[in-house]
Amino acid sequence: GPPPAVVPPSSGSATTPAPSAVGPASSGSTTTPPPPAVAPVPLGPLESQVMGVLWDGGPASAREVIARLDGARAYTTITTVTTHLEEKGLVRRERVGRAVRFAPTLARHEYCAAMMRHILDAGGNRAEAIACFVDQLDEEDLRVVRRAIAESSGPSR
């Protein structure tokens, strides 16, 4: 079938998820606990759009997501998508009073890195795949890779 949809990095900075809201003992806010380590999962086209909205604009209610998508989707469609994203561990539900907002559990660049690792782990010759990928990078990307290697303290497993 077609390759999995991976959300490309935006030209702006990725929004890092906000820290968890305060517990129920204060100000009436609750947050679902973050899921265990998020397994990388490919995103469908609408899931990619919703994640893009949350990464670019921060936590949002279903209605705010719809507004950020220029009202192009039904409320039930967006609530279904956000529920699926929550089940996949990519968003968490934040309750503030009676309102429910959805927030990404990881930043866009963290998701992209997890997907890249997943693809490398999927099989085949890792060395050839990495070499082929590096051959396609422009000079600026190569500088980024060299700097990341120089600053790396090794695997974080």
Confidence bin at 2 (pLDDT 50/70/90): very low
Tell me the average pLDDT of the chain.
80
Per-residue pLDDT at 3 exceeds 70: no
Per-residue pLDDT at 18 exceeds 60: no
CA-CA distance, 104 to 145, in Å (whole number)? 26
Confidence bin at 122 (pLDDT 50/70/90): confident
Alpha helix stretches (DSSP H) within 2-155? 45-57, 62-68, 75-87, 108-121, 126-135, 139-151
As a whole-number percent, the residues of the chain with pLDDT over 70 amount to 73
The pLDDT of residue 40: 75
How many CB atoms neighbour CB 13 within 10 A?
Answer: 12
User: Which among 51, 52, 122 is positioned nearest to 92, based on CA atoms?
Assistant: 51
pLDDT in tens, 24-67: 334 444 554 444 456 678 999 999 999 999 999 999 999 999 99
Least confident of 15-24, 98-107, 117-126: 15-24
φ and ψ at residue 121, rounded to 5 degrees: -75, -15
Pick the more confident residue, 113 or 16: 113
Confidence bin at 112 (pLDDT 50/70/90): very high
The pLDDT of residue 31: 52
The pLDDT of residue 82: 97
Confidence bin at 88 (pLDDT 50/70/90): very high
Per-residue pLDDT at 5 exceeds 90: no
